[in-house]
Structures are given as C-alpha cells and as structure tokens.
Structure 1
Amino acid sequence: MIRGIRSIIKLVSQEVQIPPQYLYGLIMALSEDEEYPHVYIAYDNKTDDYVIGVSKIKYKEAIQIWTRYEYVFNKFIGETDKTLVALFDPKINIYICALYLNELYDKYKNWKKVYYVYNIGGDSNIEHCQDDKFTNTCIKYSKRWFAN
C-alpha cells in the first residue's frame, strides 16, 4: 500500500463528506494484492476502457464524474488536465472515486450495494451483493479503519 494513503482518504472523505472507513474499505480491497497500486493500469475489453490507479476507476467513468464536478474538483485539487495520466495521482484518483461512491450511495443507500455496483459496473443481479466476495472484503477492510 502506498505511503500516506490514510491521510489522503481522511482529507478526501472530509471534502466529499463520505465516511472514511467505506472509502478505505474499497481502496484496500482493490489494492491488497498490488505492490504499487497507484500506478495500476489495465485494459477492460468488455467496456473498451482503462482501469486506473489505486481505486481502479474506469477512465470514461472518471472523466464523466470529473466533468460533473469540475468546479468543486478545481477548487479542491486545482486545475488539472483530464488525462489518463492525471488519474495515477492518488489524491485525484481517490477524490474522483469518492465522488462516485457518494453518487452511488445517494442512489442505493446501502454500502454493500455501492461496493457491488462499483465492482460489477452496474446493478444487474444486485440482490447477490450480500454474498458477494468482493463486497464482503470491502466491508471487512472498512472495519479495520478504526483499528489503525
């Protein structure tokens, strides 16, 4: 895990007004097997999109979120070009992820459903979120926020 990740999560969660433990749970579940999660990049053939950084956010999704929240983004982060490379910056990556999680929570009102939709990319079969391995891993890590 990258150094300073907890402080970035604290800062971003205060700005976005999202409980830090849920952001932490997602980031930890996504990066648990990665030696350098902040430089992660992969190509997703199904969506014809790149998955980037510590939150493994899809590039196209990130750009849509960035555009919707451009004013608050520029105020918090500063003006930055909307490039794939910018998403390697953990602060930018986590901030956009937090904005997206906030949108999902506003819609689903349940963190297991939020994690499920974030991971799957949609809400088909959302009734399976209770037994989903990834979702339960996120919840497990979110509980560790308070232990550290």
Structure 2
Amino acid sequence: MIYTLYIFDPNGCCIFYKEWARKRHLKMAKEEEFKLMYGLIASIKSFVSRISPTEMKDGFQSYATDKYRLHFFESPTSLKFVMMSDLAAVSLKELLNSIYVAYVETVCRNVLVPARGRMIDSQFFIARLEFVVSQSPYFTSKAQS
C-alpha cells in the first residue's frame, strides 16, 4: 500500500505533497513536516555516502522500519521524490521514475505552470500521477481515502 508522496525542489522546498492511505497524521504544521522529511533525506544521503565501502552509483534508494518503507529517487536536476509505503513494496524505483517522467511532461514542459519554488497544483500532473500510481501493484483500492 502506498501512503504518501513528497516532491522537493533542489532548494529543499516541498513543491508537491499527496497522501493516499496515510494512517497516522502528525500534530504539526505541514511545513514543519516537510522540513523534517527533507532534513531526514539529506542526513541519510550524507551518512550513506560517507560510510559506503564502495563507490555509490545510485546512492540511497530506500530504508525500512518495522512499520513502513521510505523510497527515494533523485532526478538529474536534483528534484527529490520521496514515497512512503507499507513493507510489501520492496522497491518503488520504477514507479518514482515514472512519476518523474510525468512531472517533466506535465509540469516542466507546461508554460502555464508557475516557475520553481511554488506548490504544484496542475490538475494535469495530478491526473497523470493518480493514473501512474494506481497502476502500481502496491496501490490498492483501499488506499483511496
């Protein structure tokens, strides 16, 4: 089951957030949650690159706790895509790449979408995102809440 998606720009601003089946909501402002998530990703990337015994080609891609799995994809332009899922979703690398392609096609190439640093509210992107995510075997009809 897929819970949430965050998209961060190269400056660490959350430019998109979507939840499907999030079961627990934090008692803090969304902006604070976004800062915490970006800080977590930055810290993990730094830690993994420093401790890796070999040269890292793709870098950090996911981690798991006993309750959820966090999946990470970074584009060549330093956009960061973070997806939370249940433990059954071992790798969502291809799904995150498909979301990135949808982003490029519907946001980057669309002159009507505002420049970087603003929340994405493109209905075309949201519709493509919903379609791409709903095709994943880890997305269930229960997730539509």
- Structure 1 length normalisation: TM-score? 0.32
Comparing both structures, which one devotes a greater share of its residues to strand? 2
Instruction: From the CA coordinates, give the structure whose radius of gyration is larger.
Output: 2
Comparing both structures, which one devotes a greater share of its residues to helix? 1
